[in-house]
Each structure stands twice: as structure tokens, then as C-alpha cells.
Structure 1
Amino acid sequence: MRWRYGTVEGIRGGWNGCQELTVNTEARQGEDALQVKALAYTKLVGQAQVGDRLLLNCNAIAKGLGTGGYAMVVANVDRLPADPENVGHIVKARYTPMQAMTLAVDEDDSPYREAVESCDSLDGMPVVVADLHSALAPILAGITATRPGTRVAYIMTDGGSLPSWFSKSLDQLSDWIEVVITAGQCFGGELEATNVHNALIAAKVVSEADIAIVAQGPGNLGTGTRWGFSGTAAGEAINAAAVLSGRPVASLRISEGDARERHQGISHHSMTAYGKVALAGADVPVPAELPKEWEAKIRAQLAQLPQRHRQIQINTDGLVEEMEKLPVRLSTMGRGLDRDRGYFVAAAAAGRHAAHLLNG
């Protein structure tokens, strides 16, 4: 940890669960004082005011991180928030200094415990699984373009951000998502679950969703090695959906704009997660519109996927127009629709296919 004290210089803004601050740090160990952008999770540390003295974790500042490039507020030194009331017994971010108590749908005190415990089947509910958080918005666009009014639950897994509040997209897409369920070590959703299995069950019996989308929060971890990336959880989510008698839909991570060879065409993340980690069969929607430069490579990669998966060609008419209506700025690894159209179209195609499943 790179600890620093700082004083709030200004309030930059915020969104649901987050407050963005300008903070002047105090010099330490020969380091000059800095002015930094800081993020406070208000449900953990309360609302800050100008002049408050804060304790900060400045790891991201020192490393120059992108998505998570904030000084994180650990505590408001002078004004601690009130103790929460009626919290549950499930600890998220366990055994860290920021561990948080939550009321999970599957614990004894939950009003949903009995419903969750008595459900042993998703009854064919489509479950769209994606590698990156940036796929969430286009998947929603594909669903809405095909079947308006569909009730969608988003299940956030803990491969990226642990607090769901970090995602501005979730705040902006609140009218498009029926419920956010945070599973595993992540927290902050309208519903909390111990794992993806019970999160899927909660999506069905608590929120009465028609479709569930499973993807990690912002901040994908990748090392460039065959197995060293957080998206392997996408394959595990396919297995969870299948064992609960859902209908797994594998959203392909396709890129025409990534300079890294391992992500060109179909990313090695999709090839590994769906080709090796997912032991159950899934529907694999393939956009009828593929990036021309990479079409031959993509066809060759699709031929390498196991035969247990069902590849289904999806008409993409109208999907770009629907994505352009979204209240969020489409972006993956800093690239928008104009620079990586194939990525967003592939995700939207997965959403369209899930909606088709509901239409029979």
C-alpha cells in the first residue's frame, strides 16, 4: 500500500455510490505534495466535503493505471460515517482492511432464502456470458432491439472491480437493467449472492428476469499468458448456467482494432474460456457481419471450437443503430464503435440471440 494523507480541494462530481474528488496530498518521504483525482465509495466512507482530511491508497497513482487510476479514499479521518443498520452476515472483500458486511440472498436472514434454496432449475433461461464489462451495453442493445421490454438481470463477477459502484455504465444503464446482482467477492448490487450459481437463481426467482448477463466488473486482469487472465471465469459461468438448466450463450470477444496479435480476430480469451474452461455446451452467436480483414482468421478460429458448442449465425441488421441509442459511451480498451465495430457487433449479436430464444 502507498498510504497518503490528503485534504479535499474540490468535489468533481459523482454517480450512484461514488464521489469523485480533487485532493491535495501531503508530502511524504521526500516526495512532493500532489494534486490527485480521488474516488470515494460513499456507502463505505461517507460523503466528503471540501476541507476534509482523508486517508488515501495511492497505488494506482504511482503505477499510472488506466481504468482504476484514482487515489482511493480509505477513510475520512475527521468525520467517520454512521454505522450501517440491518446489514447481513456475509463478508465481501474478506479479510482485507475494507471488508464489507452484506445481506446475501442465500443467507439465513434473507427474505429470499427460502425461494433461492427451493429453486433447482433455471428452466431454460438464457444466460449471456461475456469476458469484459464493456460487452454489457451492446448485449443490452441487442436484446432491446430484438425484444423490447425484456427483463434483464446483470450478474457481476469478481474478476475486475469488486464494488459495482465503480461502474459508471451501471448507473447510466439503470433503466435498461432490472437488477444488478453482485456475486462472489464483489458487492454493491441491489442483490448480493455468495457465488454465480445462487446469483443466477436469484435472477430467476427474486427479480423474475427473462435473461441474465454474466460478466466481470470494470478492470479486466490479463498477463498475456495462455491462462493468466480473469476472463477464464466466463467459461466457469457457462458451466454454472448449464448445470442449473439454463441456456448458456457465449458472447465472442472479436476485435478488428486491437494491435495485440493474441486479441485479433477472436481473442484468445474467448478461445480459452469457451474452448477449454467451458465443459458444457453453449450457443455461440456468430455475427453475419464480420470484419472483412479478419473474416478468414475468424472462420478458422471458429472451426477450432469444440463441437459441443452450437454456432449460430445472427443477422446484425439494426444493431449498430440500437447501440447508438445507448445512454453510455461505447468503449473497449479505449476504442469506440468507430475503431472496433466488430467487438460491439459481436456482443450485440449475443444479446439478439438470447432474445430470439425467448421468442421461441
Structure 2
Amino acid sequence: MIRWRKGTVERVRREWPGAMELDVALQEGGCRALAYPPLVGRPEPGDEVLLNTTALAMGLGTGGYAMVVAIPGRLPEDPIGPGHLVKARYTPLQATVLGADEQGSPHHETLREADTLTGMPVVVADLHSAVPAILAGLLAARPGTRTAYVMPDGGALPAWFSMSAAALRDAGWLCGTVTTGQAFGGDLETVTLHTGLLAARHVLGADVAIVAQGPGNLGTGTRWGFSGVSAGEAVNAVSVLGGRPVASLRVSEGDQRERHVGVSHHSLTAYGRVALARAQVVVPLLPGAFGARLRAQAAALGERHELVEVGVEGLEEALAASPVRLSTMGRGMDKDAAAFLTAAAAGRHAASLLA
């Protein structure tokens, strides 16, 4: 289940908030490794490190790193401070964090009786790669909108793994990240998606929230075996809390897998079967035969949800202004423009709900 290796840090390749990318020498050669200093301490060149090389051996794209589990010769200091929420529970790297919703939090009083999002639009998406595109459409239509990213635990558990989330925060496109469930490492931590949404609204003061799993979604090629079913559950949570759910479709014109061409079966299942509450499903007005195919597929969701057609004029320019690289399943705008235009259209529609 786990491939263990010992290695020696050769150099630090780059770092961003909460994470470091390293070159590590192994007996069988070198590899690229990732360390989370808040968990394991800060590795330095020359340090011996204990690695989990499972994802690397499997050749995973998003998660294709050896993961630093420990720096045996230089353990970090014991943490100091409050926090009673345990995340990644009962794993070797379970971590204690301060939950915004726990009794010791300065936000506990705010969240104790919080029960409504007061109509806040919440854009729900399947893939993490949709987040910057949604923001591009939203901010082009309504600059300065305070937007929070609420990250459930369907993909990566550490928010630190996302270079784009950190860069979007630095660029001022996000007012903060809230990690929910077993996910951790956000500006705020919460026990559930529900308190995560409430924290986005009442603690971060967000005008809009985006819910999408972290990098590294999981799928099995079966009807129900994919982590994106959580998008349907997020629609339900938003509705229960008095928010306005806006469903962003997962769309592709470049995926080699037929089940993801046009509107992905992930969206058709999550919104068509899992989401019991009514959402506004944004259907982009893409041109040509592909656009017609997409609209025909999305029509299947019209019985349960409100379909909202949104034009895509000017969205390519908005996407070009993104402070982070746009990439979905290794494809950029040149290979899969429809994926990003669809997400940006959802952001554009969310902006219109604030007018």
C-alpha cells in the first residue's frame, strides 16, 4: 500500500505557502519530492528524508511526487497554540488544527448560531482547475468581488498542494480559502462543508463562494465511482443554508475519453442524480456543432434545475488575465478552451446575481 524510500535532499526547486518542491537523491536515482513544512518541518539540502513514493511509482499526473513523511535527523518543534480539530484522522500524519467552528475559536460565537448564507451565490464545480476560470469570469464582470474558495476533501487533503490557490490569494482574486471535512491548510478550517460555507460568508465576508475539490480528483470510469459526486452534495448544502447554488458544468472538447466529451457524465450524475435541490445550471453559448451538442446534453438537467444560457463573448480575454496558468487534465486553452469558457461563464452569471 505504501512504497517507502530513504533519500537525501539535493536542492530546493521552488516553494509556495505551505509547500516545498525538492530534488531528492535515492539509491536508484533522483526524484522530485514534495514537503509540507507545517507537518514535517523545513527540509534543507543534505537532510536525510523518509519518503512515500507510491504516487510517483504509479505515474500519477497531479500527484506525481514522492512525499516527504519525516526528516528523522531534525524533527520540528512541537506546535504551540490552540486547536482541537484533528484532520487526516487516524493516519500517521494526522494534524491538529484550530477550527473556526470549535469552542476555542474567536469565530465560534459568530458561527454558533449562523444558519443562513443570506442569498450568497455559490458556484459549484467538479474540478479544481475550474476555480481560476470561474474567478476570471466573475471578476471581469464585477471587479473587486470578495470571493472565497471552499475546499472539500474529495481531492488533495492539504490546501498547500494547490499552487493556484496560493497564487490567486496573493493576487487578491481570493479573499481566503476554507478547508472542510478532512481537508486542511486553509485560512480557515471547519468540520463540515456547511460550516465552511457559513465561515466564508460570515467570517471572511465573502460576496461569492466557489466550492470545488482540491487538485487530484479520483475517478474509476464507473457511473458512481468518482469524487466529483460531491458537487451534487454541495448544491444541496448551499440550498439548505439559503444560498444560491450555481452549477458549473464539467465540459471538454479535448478529452480522449468519450464519457467526458461535451458535458461530462460527472456533471450529469452529480447535478442530475445527487443534487436534490434546485440550482441554476450555466450553459455556455459556445458556437458550432460542439456548442449544439453541449446544449443538447445539458437539456437533460432541465427537469430538475433551471438552465441559464450565458454568452462567452469577451471571456477569452478575461481568462488571459488569470494570474495562474490555466490547465485541466494537462490541457491548456489551446487544447480545451471549452472547459475554461464554461467555468468562466458560471463566474459571469454569479456576478449578475449580485447586481
Q: TM-score, normalised by structure 1?
A: 0.96
Structure 1: stretches of 5+ with no match in the other structure: 27-32
Counterpart Cα distance in 2 of 1:282 and 1:307? 11
Deviation at 1:293, TM superposition (A): 3.5
Q: Which residue is 1:123 aligned to?
A: 118
Contact between 1:145 and 1:318, CA under 8 Å: does it hold in 2?
A: no
Contact between 2:52 and 2:66, CA under 8 Å: does it hold in 1?
A: yes
Counterpart Cα distance in 2 of 1:99 and 1:197? 22
Deviation at 1:196, TM superposition (A): 0.5
Counterpart Cα distance in 2 of 1:303 and 1:182? 33
Counterpart Cα distance in 1 of 2:75 and 2:216? 28
**SS of the residue aligned with 1:36?**
strand
- Say whether residues 1:146 and 2:141 are aligned partners: yes
**SS of the residue aligned with 1:312?**
strand
> CA 1:273 to 1:229, structure 2 compared with 1: closer, same or farther past 3 Å?
same
Contact between 2:4 and 2:50, CA under 8 Å: does it hold in 1?
A: yes
Deviation at 1:325, TM superposition (A): 0.8
Q: Which residue is 1:93 aligned to?
A: 88
Percent identity for Structure 1 against Structure 2: 60
Aligned residue identity for 1:44? L
* Alignment partner of 2:55 out of 49, 55, 60: 60
Counterpart Cα distance in 2 of 1:198 and 1:171? 22
Contact between 2:252 and 2:338, CA under 8 Å: does it hold in 1?
A: yes
Q: CA RMSD in A?
A: 1.0
Deviation at 1:306, TM superposition (A): 4.5
Deviation at 1:47, TM superposition (A): 1.1
- Say whether residues 1:297 and 2:314 are aligned partners: no
Counterpart Cα distance in 2 of 1:308 and 1:278? 9
**SS of the residue aligned with 1:204?**
helix
Alignment of 1:222-233 (within 5 A): 222-233=219-230
Counterpart Cα distance in 1 of 2:315 and 2:70? 44
Aligned residue identity for 2:335? R
Q: Which residue is 1:331 aligned to?
A: 327
**SS of the residue aligned with 1:101?**
strand
Greater CA drift, 234-243 or 304-313:
304-313
Q: Which residue is 1:79 aligned to?
A: 74
Q: TM-score, normalised by structure 2?
A: 0.97
Deviations 1:14-66 (A, max 9, x none): 1111111111124xxxxxx2211110001111111111011100101211111
Greater CA drift, 303-312 or 158-167:
303-312
Total equivalences in the alignment: 352
Deviations 1:238-267 (A, max 9, x none): 000000010000001111111110001100
Q: Which residue is 1:30 aligned to?
A: none
Alignment of 1:347-358 (within 5 A): 347-358=343-354
Deviation at 1:296, TM superposition (A): 3.2
Structure 2: stretches of 5+ with no match in the other structure: none
